[in-house]
């Protein structure tokens, strides 16, 4: 007889307590193998595919796409073992065997892997998706929600599994799905312009624009008497527009920056520097052949050497013990703007890397950030942050420290400006550098010394040769 097991949202590590369902990877009636990814969720740190530790037939799913669930809430139920008659579905596999038997033949037990951060780590051969080949019978009622789950979450859990869509939606990007979901657009009504009818972001935006135009035309027909009075923000008397939930990446950014401002007594100093020689040095390095070196990599090299001279800024503060904890390695975070919001990937052991290695790692992490595939480990453990806001076309900024770090270096755009060079007025490539630091770990003299060393290296890259 088949046994129905409940799989709950696992601990995703790094202090994460909830996740939003972005995309279901299986339907009710599908056969799943042990450690097969069954759902894609978005945490405050990254997109994560969650694998199921059971092998069997999916009998129920809990939560629609877009639902936010806490760790420990039910995700799905799986019928494990048994025969075709005992499994709560009529799904079959090739050869006429029942879906439950097929799953049981591969494994009918728990994988035993610990689900933290990246899911389970079973053999690659098991991590495949087995789709049903005949329509499934109506699923059995879902397992009851544990009493420990908050009432607000219980209310959002369906009493029966949602009907499976008629055929897969031609959508690959979870960002496209999220955009449509946030705007209330049914993707089944969108015609894709990509290869094989693939729905692209542009298709969703066009459909939203068309819906907005249609809605505007309908609204114009109505009379003022039938229009509801606009909502007013409490205590302001100002009409309320759109409300945007602070969750996911946006919520994590809000929490971290608020904590930084609340806990860290920060101060900022800045200086303009002539980056003409640095730009010339980079051009000469890239002209010599081999891998191209990014400007960010050269700035990172300068940062790590400056931190070696001023280790106070590569530290954190333990207020419970009333201690400044200096850190032996530089794990360099860098700000990356994505469609999901601002994220700060971390380059491990940046102080031991060459310019080529730094360029490769920056490129890898940036690409993962844009795809939304950064892991929690990619986004944690930083000891110092480099923020190149010059890419937004601005000259200066006052960075907010990435708690619990002690400092952040901001770099503005590099543009031609009048500059006194060798006693004469000339047009040079000038950049503004700003350093925000935790005043608990050092005073202005140390922070100024760090920033001045960085500026000297930018103006005269040969200064670095003294420390090589």
331 noted as active-site residue: no
The region, left, alpha or beta by phi > 0 then psi within -120 to 50, assigned to residue 290 is left
Give the dihedral sign, CA 223/224/225/231.
positive
The region, left, alpha or beta by phi > 0 then psi within -120 to 50, assigned to residue 390 is alpha
Catalytic, out of 310, 403, 421, 439: 439
Residues involved in catalysis:
439
């Amino acid at each position: 007889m088949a046994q129905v097991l409940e799989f709950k949202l696992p601990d995703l590590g790094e202090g994460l307590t909830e996740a939003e369902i972005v995309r279901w990877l299986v339907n009710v009636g599908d056969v799943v193998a042990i450690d097969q990814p069954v759902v894609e969720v978005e945490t405050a740190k990254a997109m994560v595919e969650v694998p199921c530790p059971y092998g069997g037939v999916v009998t129920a799913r809990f939560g629609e796409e877009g639902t936010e669930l806490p760790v420990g809430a039910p995700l799905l139920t799986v019928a494990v073992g048994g025969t075709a008659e005992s499994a709560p579905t009529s799904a079959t596999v090739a050869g006429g065997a029942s879906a439950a038997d097929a799953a049981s033949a591969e494994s009918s037990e728990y994988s035993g892997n610990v689900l933290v951060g990246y899911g389970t780590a079973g053999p690659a051969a098991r991590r495949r998706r087995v789709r049903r080949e005949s329509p499934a019978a109506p699923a059995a009622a879902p397992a009851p929600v544990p009493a420990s789950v908050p009432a607000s979450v219980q209310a959002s859990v369906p009493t029966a599994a949602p009907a499976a869509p008629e055929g897969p939606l031609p959508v690959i990007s979870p960002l496209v799905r999220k955009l449509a979901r946030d705007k209330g657009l049914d993707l089944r009504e969108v015609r894709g312009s990509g290869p094989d009818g693939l729905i692209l972001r542009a298709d969703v935006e066009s459909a939203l624009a068309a819906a907005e135009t249609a809605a505007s035309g309908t609204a114009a027909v109505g009379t003022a008497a039938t229009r509801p009075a606009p909502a007013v923000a409490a205590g302001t008397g100002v009409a309320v527009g759109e409300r945007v939930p602070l969750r996911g990446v946006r919520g994590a950014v809000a929490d971290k920056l608020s904590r930084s401002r609340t806990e860290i007594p920060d101060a900022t100093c800045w200086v303009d520097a002539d980056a003409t020689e640095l730009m010339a040095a980079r051009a000469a390095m890239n002209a010599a052949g081999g891998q191209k070196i990014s400007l960010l990599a050269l700035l990172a090299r300068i940062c790590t050497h400056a931190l070696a001279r001023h280790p106070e800024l590569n530290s954190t503060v333990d207020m419970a013990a009333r201690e400044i904890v200096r850190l032996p390695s530089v794990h360099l975070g860098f700000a990356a703007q994505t469609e999901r919001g601002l994220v700060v990937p971390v380059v491990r052991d940046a102080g031991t890397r060459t310019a080529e290695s730094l360029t490769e790692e920056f490129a890898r992490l940036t690409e993962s950030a844009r795809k939304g595939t950064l892991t929690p480990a990619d986004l944690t453990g930083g000891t110092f942050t480099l923020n190149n806001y010059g890419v937004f076309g601005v000259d200066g900024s006052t960075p907010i420290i990435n708690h619990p770090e002690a400092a952040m270096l901001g770099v503005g755009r590099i543009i031609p400006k009048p500059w006194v060079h060798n006693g004469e007025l000339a047009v040079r490539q000038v950049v503004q550098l700003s350093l925000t630091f935790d005043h608990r770990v050092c005073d202005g003299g140390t922070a100024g010394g760090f920033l001045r060393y960085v500026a000297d290296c930018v103006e005269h890259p040969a200064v670095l040769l003294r420390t090589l």
